[in-house]
Amino acid sequence: MKILVTGAAGFIASRVVERLLKEGHEVIGVDDFDIYYSRGQKEKNLMPVLLHPKFKLIEDNLATMALVTVLKGTEAVIHLAAQPGVRGSWGSSFHRYVTNNIQVTQRLLEESKANKLKRFVYASSSSVYGDVGEVLNEEMKCQPKSPYGVTKLAAEHLCQLYNLEYKMPTVSLRFFSVYGPGQRPDMAFHRFCQNIIHEAPMTIYGDGKQIRDFTYVDDVVEIIAASLLAEVVGQVINVGGGSPATLLEAAALLEEISGKTSPKTFLERQKGDVFSTRADTAKLERLFGSKPKMSLKEGLAREWEWMKKFVQSEDEEKAIKSNVQIIGGADEADLAEAKAEAKSHRKAKLKAKAGKNSKPAPDNSSSDSEAPES
Ligand code: UGA
């Protein structure tokens, strides 16, 4: 199948691209590398697929680009591009949510009408519900508590409309707090891992007793891939993790995994934050015959492993940049030299640190857990 994946360099989408290519699909990825978070992280997300012969990346803005050519011959659209961030959706940034979440979705639906798509998969969110119940099921009346949730719900409604009136084969998947390797830097676990590594306090909004149905990214990817063929057209479906936990419970798990504790700074509850998201997954199980399986502990351990490497590579890049500035007018050889220098400097620091803590010399895997100072 020829599939368009929007927001292709993002946390979830980049893994979807990888998965689809493994299945033999041809994938067109569109991403505008929005400044919401670093281009570097997004480029790293795409590393495994960039040179794949069946992958084409288009760097452009979905709100303005010519979609006709991109959509030509496309059989499915997986629409994961969005303006994310629940708490940042108030105030003057709201227009970004309207454009990127509502208008872009409408534009894609409109432009896809002529294409006889087999599927249009829309990434919705648990934030469409608001605080409407203990366990959230798709029949409940949605009352979003954040402007972000309002825009995600509006786009979901648009998908339903295009399904009803134009027979567009839409399906809306409501994702519940997705986490795992590659997680966005504004999200709780990414920040907590960074806090542990840099020996900084964790910031907890509210009392930390808010519950999230944390969902592991590859479980979400499985469902997205399956939604291309499953009998799900016209449906709205919860994609929740089945491992609800309070924020403090999750933070404690992360501390256990990392073997380090972090002080907590409690700040006031953020406007737009819901108290609890727990997914009723009956519909998911009925339509897909499966549901997310990853335990929170194992999923967090994988995010922690990824994060250590990510921080290390960021530190190396920073060191390279500062070395290159000193060298001035660096060419390829200079860069290689600077990189090697940064690496050996880091190793020396790790050794010194290990010695100071009078621990046995770290092997390759455990050396990762000794984060370089930033
Ligand atoms: C996440 C994503 O950011 C949304 O894009 C997605 O649509 C949403 O999940 C969803 O599932 O509907 P959120 O649940 O707010 O939103 O996820 P996090 O950003 O990881 O925050 C989880 C909780 O931790 C929130 O209560 C937040 O206030 C809190 N938090 C976050 C902290 O206490 N400290 C932090 O440093 C970061």
DSSP-derived secondary structure for 291-322: -----HHHHHHHHHHHHHHHHHHHHHHHHHHH
For ligand 1, atom 23, the nearest C-alpha belongs to: 188
Helix, strand or coil, per DSSP, at residue 179 = strand
Task: Give the pLDDT band of residue 181 (cuts 50, 70, 90).
Answer: very high
Q: Characterize 211-242 residue by residue with b for buried, 16 or more Cβ atoms within 10 angstroms of its Cβ, and e for exposed.
A: bbbbbbbbbbbbbbbebbebebeebbbbbbbb
Ligand 1 neighbour 162 (Cβ under 6 A): no
Cα separation, 159 vs 283, in Å, equals 19
Cα separation, 245 vs 213, in Å, equals 7
How far is the centre of ligand 1, averaged over its atoms, from the C-alpha of 338 (Å)?
38
Residue whose token pair is 């840099």? 198
Phi, psi of 39 (to 5 degrees): -60, -35
Residue ranges per domain, the chain?
2-178+217-241+281-290, 310-367
- Per-residue 3-state assignment (H helix, E strand, C coil) for 240-282: CCCCEEEHHHHHHHHHHHHCCCCCEEEECCCCCCCCECCECCH
Give pairs for 62-65: CB < 8 Å, separation 24+.
62/6, 62/30, 62/32, 62/100, 62/104, 62/107, 62/108, 63/99, 63/100, 63/103, 63/104, 63/107, 65/30
Q: Which one of the listed residues 97, 122, 148, 216 is annotated catalytic? A: 148
Q: Tell me which of 87, 127, 148 to substitute to probe ligand 1's pocket, judged by most ligand atoms within 8 Å of the beta carbon.
A: 127
Task: Give the pLDDT band of residue 334 (cuts 50, 70, 90).
Answer: low
- State the greatest distance between any 2 C-alpha atoms of the chain, in Å, as a whole number: 70
Cα separation, 193 vs 320, in Å, equals 23
**Residue 205 appears among annotated catalytic residues:** no
Cα separation, 12 vs 31, in Å, equals 13
Do the beta carbons of residue 294 and residue 222 sit within 8 Å?
A: no
Task: Give the pLDDT band of residue 341 (cuts 50, 70, 90).
Answer: low
Distance of CA 1 to the CA centre of its chain: 24
Q: Tell me which of 86, 89, 276 to substitute to probe ligand 1's pocket, judged by most ligand atoms within 8 Å of the beta carbon.
A: 86
- pLDDT surpassing 80 at residue 184: yes
How far is the centre of ligand 1, averaged over its atoms, from the C-alpha of 97 (Å)?
16
- pLDDT surpassing 70 at residue 201: yes
**Beta strand 55-59 with 26-31: parallel, antiparallel or unpaired?**
parallel
From the alpha carbon of 184, which atom of ligand 1 is closest?
3
Ligand 1 neighbour 210 (Cβ under 6 A): yes
Task: Give the pLDDT band of residue 357 (cuts 50, 70, 90).
Answer: very low
Ligand 1 neighbour 248 (Cβ under 6 A): no
2-178+217-241+281-290, what's its fold? Rossmann fold (3.40.50)
Helix, strand or coil, per DSSP, at residue 239 = strand
- pLDDT surpassing 60 at residue 328: no
Mean pLDDT value across residues 221-247:
96
Ligand 1 neighbour 125 (Cβ under 6 A): yes
Q: Tell me which of 142, 205, 210 to substitute to probe ligand 1's pocket, judged by most ligand atoms within 8 Å of the beta carbon.
A: 205
Digit-coded pLDDT (tens) for 51-84: 999 999 999 999 999 999 999 999 999 999 999 9
The answer to whether the pTM exceeds 0.95 is no
Nearest to 125 by CA among 176, 79, 70: 176
Ligand 1 neighbour 41 (Cβ under 6 A): no
Do the beta carbons of residue 130 and residue 142 sit within 8 Å?
A: yes
Helix, strand or coil, per DSSP, at residue 211 = strand
Count CA atoms within 13 Å of residue 372 on its CB side.
20
Secondary structure of the chain: what % helix, strand, coil (to 5)? 45, 15, 35
